[in-house]
Amino acid sequence: MLYLSTRGHPDRKRFCEILLEGLAPDGGLYLPERYPQVDAAMLGRLRAVFNGGASGGYAALAFEVLSLYIDDIPASDLTALCDKTYTEAVYGTAAIVPLKKLEDGFYLEALSNGPTLAFKDMAMQLLGNLFEYELARRGEELNILGATSGDTGSAAEYAMRGKQGVRVFMLSPHGRMSPFQQAQMFSLMDENIHNIAIDGVFDDCQDIVKAVSNELTFKRQYKIGTVNSINWARLLAQVVYYFAGYFQATSSDSQKVSFTVPSGNFGNVCAGHVARQMGLPIQTLVVATNENDVLDEFFRTGVYRVRASTDTYETSSPSMDISKASNFERFVFDLLGRDSARVKALFGVALSREGRFELGADPVFAEAASHYGFVSGKSTHADRLATIKDTFERFGLVIDTHTADGVKVAREHLDKSVPMIVLETALPIKFSETIVEALGRQPDRPPQFQGIEALPKRVHRMPADVEAVKRYIVQHCSDA
């Protein structure tokens, strides 16, 4: 299996070559040359593997799906990596991603049982093991530099803690994360995890990461890398749980299901698109956004319009507060019949000049719904509160704010003959302020998180200064 760039760069690369990379050299995103096809016989076999008792289950399914895309890791090693990643010990349940039935034909798929209680663990935990494996094989090291306002940073730290050859330098805006999120990250005592609290806002942190990453000499000398959501391995890991959700909601491979996905950077739902292109019987992929409705606007009108930071709202589903959807280029590449010259003209030229492009008048736009199964909807703070309350009153279940956006929008797209699976992307304890607003009570706290706010903290506070951050990295590069 070889990978290409959505913007037409002539190079073709193998999985482990793009594993540690971000963008392709021409600024495009990596995609496989073609999507491996899962025919009826193979779908039956994958179902048997997933349901297959002691030697089966989620890890075995992950191995089967990943093998279709990874041919430069020996099968025995890839099996070991999957077995080590998707365990009951890490996810608290042997099912790893159990379905919770709300009512007939309406389910939540629980993706938030990992160490940081958000779905990003599903991919990041695998990435940690893949990075350690590949770096050891090459005899190399990597310093991951990132900026976070919460979920991504903690998922990355819990995935990379204690890993050989990897250090994490994670910038966060001082005093701006919730006490729970701060405690999650800052209580990690691992030598290879460096929390840096910047005097500034999230954008200042992100600007520092960009500035350092753009200094190519420094980047090369200190082996700076990232783990952001455009990483192909992260997306690939997410494809697996679409299969797992399908097998749990159906008893026969002739049935179809639909998924609703709370969306920001279009990473999670893009994995659903990949699963559907492989032949998984998905009827509809419902994209649910919050007030930051870049994607809902596109699927309704064909206009893709990047927002200025002043037009990007801080909402109560903060992990979906995006100004542009970084993975969206992958879908548009497929929508345009893989015409990389057009993708380059839209994402490389029109977006940087005008901040928007429009496909509404193009005949291919209709295919987003008719051929690729995409529809969308939007949810606001008031919708979120009402949905959390309604779900609690009717089913006794407390859902988080992002999942509530998904449930709200899913209800607008129900089809009685097709089961609907809403992806649960976080647990409510991470966003307790809004839960209290909706229900007048605190969400339950999983036992392993009791009292974490009181744990000792390991964090280094710094001004918003690129040179200071670089100095810190240089000083801490040779330990661990």
Query: What secondary structure does DSSP assign to 450-479, as a single string?
Result: TTGGGS----EEEES-HHHHHHHHHHTSS-
182 burial level (CB within 10 Å; 0-12, 13-18, 19+):
buried
Instruction: Select from 148, 182, 425, 434 the one that contacts ligand PLP (CB under 6 A).
Output: 425
Please state whether beta strands 257-262 and 420-424 pair in parallel, antiparallel, or not at all (unpaired). Answer: parallel
Q: What is the tally of helices (H) and strands (E) in the chain?
A: 21, 15
Q: By CB under 6 A, is residue 192 in contact with ligand PLP?
A: no
Binding letters toward ligand PLP, positions 299-338, x by CB under 6 A: --------------------xx------------------
The span of 122-130, 207-215, 265-273, 384-392 binding ligand PLP (CB under 6 A) equals 265-273
Q: By CB under 6 A, is residue 228 in contact with ligand PLP?
A: no
State how far the Cα of 224 lies from the Cα of 210, in Å rounded to an integer: 11
Nearest in space to 288 (alpha carbons), one of 419, 145, 409: 409
Helix (H, G, I), strand (E, B) or coil at 397: coil
Minimum gap (Å) between residue 130 Cβ and ligand PLP = 19
Minimum gap (Å) between residue 390 Cβ and ligand PLP = 20
State how far the Cα of 267 lies from the Cα of 4, in Å rounded to an integer: 18
Instruction: Select from 174, 330, 344, 402 the one that contacts ligand PLP (CB under 6 A).
Output: 402
Question: Other CB atoms closer than 10 Å to residue 219's CB: what's the count?
Answer: 15
Minimum gap (Å) between residue 218 Cβ and ligand PLP = 28
Closest residue to ligand PLP, judged by C-beta, is 267
Residue 133 or 374: the one with the smaller Cβ distance to ligand PLP is 374
List 13, 100, 120, 378, catalytic entry: 120
Give the long-range contacts of residues 99-103, CB within 8 A, separation 24 or more: 99/245, 99/248, 99/249, 99/421, 100/397, 100/424, 102/391, 102/394, 102/395, 102/397, 102/407, 103/395
Q: By CB under 6 A, is residue 262 in contact with ligand PLP?
A: yes
The span of 59-67, 74-82, 93-101, 261-269 binding ligand PLP (CB under 6 A) equals 261-269
Q: Are 224 and 49 in contact, with CB atoms under 8 Å apart? A: no
Give, rounded to a whole angstrom, the gap between the first and last alpha carbons of the chain: 35
Q: Restricting to residues 433-472, which ones interact with ligand PLP according to CB under 6 A?
A: none
Residue 273 or 342: the one with the smaller Cβ distance to ligand PLP is 273
Minimum gap (Å) between residue 378 Cβ and ligand PLP = 14
256 counts as catalytic: no
Token code pair at residue 144: 């991951």
Instruction: Select from 28, 128, 200, 267 the one that contacts ligand PLP (CB under 6 A).
Output: 267
Q: By CB under 6 A, is residue 18 in contact with ligand PLP?
A: no
Residue 222 or 232: the one with the smaller Cβ distance to ligand PLP is 232
Minimum gap (Å) between residue 265 Cβ and ligand PLP = 3
Single-letter code of the amino acid located at 404: A
Instruction: Select from 58, 63, 107, 266 the one that contacts ligand PLP (CB under 6 A).
Output: 266
The span of 63-71, 157-165, 260-268, 354-362 binding ligand PLP (CB under 6 A) equals 260-268
Residue 85 or 319: the one with the smaller Cβ distance to ligand PLP is 319
Total number of residues that touch ligand PLP (CB under 6 A): 16
Phi, psi dihedrals of residue 444, rounded to the nearest 5°: -65, 145
The span of 256-264, 307-315, 368-376, 456-464 binding ligand PLP (CB under 6 A) equals 256-264
Angle between the 232-249 and 58-67 helix axes, to the nearest 10 degrees? 130
Token code pair at residue 309: 């930071």
Residue 69 or 431: the one with the smaller Cβ distance to ligand PLP is 431
Instruction: Select from 151, 291, 329, 383 the one that contacts ligand PLP (CB under 6 A).
Output: 151
166 bridge partner residues: 142
Catalytic residues: 120
List residues near ligand PLP by CB under 6 A: 118, 120, 151, 229, 262-268, 319-320, 402, 425-426
